[in-house]
């Protein structure tokens, strides 16, 4: 890749090389230390943003139904597309992708497809007719060096959180495909067997000095670069050596051993970030019910029946609607209004409500006393002289 962002002077070049010979780097790291890695995800599934030091890359995954290739009718497709924006580096020109963009896409694509990291057969819907085509778009937001490693982590993180719509096959001929909405059926994740991690090494001098994760300043001074794609199991998925100075085989074997250790570390960080994202998303899907407020029951919906024959002499309460509790005291009823809590209310005995007490005061008899109903309205409106006259006649 051509890096025109920063052109070092002779003194700057000598300073960086002499510091590396003393096992020192400009940013304070050691030779085989990665920069700080941060992985974040967007609101939608299949979107991720990776920040590796000053390098920032955003990945976004989409899928659509297409016709498969004739030589592989039972397998889906996976394509990597990169976009270099002038916002990330003034050296990047908009429009047609340059040599750097093409090389970046090929390195990541080779590491994913050649290692069979994504199960392509699981993307088949109808053999020879419909398969899922997965597309990974990588946008370079800021070029701080080592774009390959950052873009590779962004692609793996986006693929790990991507969910494709579920589809069923039916119809009379069994060839009709129905794609279900995510609200009707939960989308399905991709089947990923392993995570191929790209680890880039930079060579200085005659290939005797090797560092991991070079910055843009170190890339401007380095004599060569090699990218090894390795998974956490130590399997070598791909190796990219793009020109530069020659490297001995013993140095390459040492780099592969280092890459295996770094791949295991990066894989654990990706899985931790994906699990955290899945947990947060699951909590958002949980339907939170509001705090239950006791519903109010109208007094008219409450009827009380007399149970005089019961040994306990209690009352049976029938409530039309929600279940409420009522005190056994015959003088207490339930008053309920909309928007207020149910409160006890003292009411006078009514003709329709008759209660029987199992025990009375000491002055009364052991038998139950019946609460008499008040006089009728007709008796209440009679003149007083008529009442006295009747009393006189009786006497």
Residue 213 has pLDDT above 50, yes or no: yes
What's the start-to-end Cα distance of the chain, in Å? 129
pLDDT of residue 371: 44
What the block records as the tokens of 325 is: 């509790």
Residue 59 has pLDDT above 70, yes or no: yes
pLDDT of residue 383: 56
CB atoms within 10 A of CB 19: 12
pLDDT of residue 201: 93
Q: pLDDT digits over 299-346, tens only?
A: 444 444 444 444 444 444 444 444 444 444 444 444 444 444 444 444
Question: Which one, of 264, 83, 76, lies nearest residue 159 by Cα?
Answer: 76
Range in 45-59, 64-78, 197-211 the model is least confident about: 197-211
Element (H, E) at 114: none
Percent of the chain with pLDDT over 70: 70
**Domain annotation for the chain: domains and CATH numbers:** 10-287 (3.30.230.70)
CA distance 349 to 330: 8
pLDDT of residue 285: 74
Contact residues for 350 (Cβ-Cβ < 8 A; gap 6+) = 373
Q: Average pLDDT of 175-188?
A: 86
CA distance 348 to 373: 10
Under 8 Å between Cβ of 330 and 358: no
Residue 185 has pLDDT above 50, yes or no: yes
Q: pLDDT digits over 246-262, tens only?
A: 888 888 999 999 999 99
Range in 30-39, 125-134, 305-314 the model is least confident about: 305-314
Cα dist from 255 to 146, 214, 319, 371, whole Å: 16, 14, 80, 100
CA distance 145 to 151: 11
Question: Comparing 393 with 55, which gets the higher pLDDT?
Answer: 55
Q: Average pLDDT of 165-181?
A: 84
Residue 287 has pLDDT above 90, yes or no: no
Contact residues for 73 (Cβ-Cβ < 8 A; gap 6+) = 127, 128
pLDDT band at 229 (very low <50, low <70, confident <90, very high): very high
Determine the Cα angle at 300 with ends 294 and 306, to 5°: 100
Range in 140-149, 199-208, 243-252, 347-356 the model is least confident about: 347-356
Residue 368 has pLDDT above 70, yes or no: no
pLDDT of residue 88: 83
Under 8 Å between Cβ of 348 and 357: no
Question: Comparing 226 with 320, which gets the higher pLDDT?
Answer: 226
CA distance 240 to 236: 11
pLDDT of residue 92: 81
Torsional sign, CA 174, 176, 179, 180: negative
CA distance 117 to 322: 58
pLDDT of residue 58: 95
Average pLDDT of the chain, as a whole number: 77
Cα dist from 261 to 38, 208, 231, 289, 383, whole Å: 19, 21, 9, 47, 110
Q: pLDDT digits over 335-355, tens only?
A: 444 444 444 444 444 444 344
pLDDT band at 382 (very low <50, low <70, confident <90, very high): low
Q: pLDDT digits over 97-112, tens only?
A: 778 888 898 999 999 9
Q: Which residues pair with 61 in a beta bridge?
A: 136
pLDDT of residue 282: 86
Under 8 Å between Cβ of 46 and 135: no
Out of 26-30, 112-116, 194-198, give the one with best mean pLDDT. Answer: 194-198
DSSP per-residue letters across 68-84: PBTTBTT--EEEEEEEE
Q: Looking at residue 87, what DSSP letter applies?
A: T
Question: Comparing 395 with 220, which gets the higher pLDDT?
Answer: 220
Under 8 Å between Cβ of 167 and 180: yes
pLDDT of residue 375: 52
CA distance 100 to 142: 14
pLDDT of residue 377: 52
Torsional sign, CA 177, 119, 133, 62: positive
CA distance 147 to 216: 9
Phi, psi of 219 (to 5 degrees): -65, -30
Under 8 Å between Cβ of 8 and 221: yes
pLDDT of residue 387: 52
Residue with tokens 């998974």: 231
């Amino acid at each position: 890749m051509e890096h025109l962002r920063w052109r070092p002077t002779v003194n700057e070049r000598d300073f960086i090389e002499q510091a590396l010979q003393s096992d020192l780097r400009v940013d304070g790291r050691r030779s085989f230390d990665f920069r700080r890695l941060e992985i974040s995800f967007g609101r939608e599934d299949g979107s991720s943003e990776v920040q590796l030091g000053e390098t920032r890359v955003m990945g976004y995954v989409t899928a659509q139904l297409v016709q498969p290739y004739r030589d592989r009718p039972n397998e889906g497709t996976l394509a990597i597309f990169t976009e270099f924006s002038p916002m990330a580096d003034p050296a990047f020109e908009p429009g047609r992708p340059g040599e750097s963009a093409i090389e970046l896409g090929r390195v990541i694509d080779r590491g994913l497809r050649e290692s069979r990291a994504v199960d392509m057969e699981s993307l088949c819907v109808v053999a020879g007719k419909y398969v899922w085509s997965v597309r990974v778009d990588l946008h370079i937001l800021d070029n701080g060096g080592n774009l390959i490693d950052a873009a590779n982590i962004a692609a793996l993180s986006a693929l790990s959180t991507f969910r494709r719509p579920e589809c069923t096959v039916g119809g009379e001929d069994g060839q009709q495909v129905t794609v279900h909405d995510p609200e009707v059926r939960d989308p399905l994740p991709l089947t990923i067997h392993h995570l191929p991690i790209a680890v880039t090494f930079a060579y200085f001098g005659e290939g005797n000095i090797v560092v991991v994760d070079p910055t843009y300043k170190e890339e401007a001074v380095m004599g060569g670069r090699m990218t090894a794609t390795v998974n956490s199991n130590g399997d070598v998925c791909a190796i990219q050596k793009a020109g530069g100075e020659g490297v001995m085989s013993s140095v390459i074997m040492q780099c592969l051993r280092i890459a295996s250790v770094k791949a295991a570390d990066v894989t654990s960080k990706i899985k931790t970030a994906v699990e955290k994202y899945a947990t947060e998303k699951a909590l958002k899907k949980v339907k939170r019910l509001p705090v239950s407020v006791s519903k109010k029951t109208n007094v008219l919906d409450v009827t009380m029946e007399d149970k005089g024959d019961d040994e306990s002499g209690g009352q049976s309460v029938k409530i039309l609607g929600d279940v409420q509790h009522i005190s056994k005291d015959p003088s207490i009823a339930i008053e309920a209004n909309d928007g207020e809590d149910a409160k006890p209310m003292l009411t006078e005995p009514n003709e329709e409500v008759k209660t029987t007490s199992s025990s009375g005061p000491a002055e009364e008899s052991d038998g139950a006393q019946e609460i008499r109903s008040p006089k009728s309205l007709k008796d209440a409106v009679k003149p007083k002289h008529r009442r006295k006259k009747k009393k006189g006649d009786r006497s």
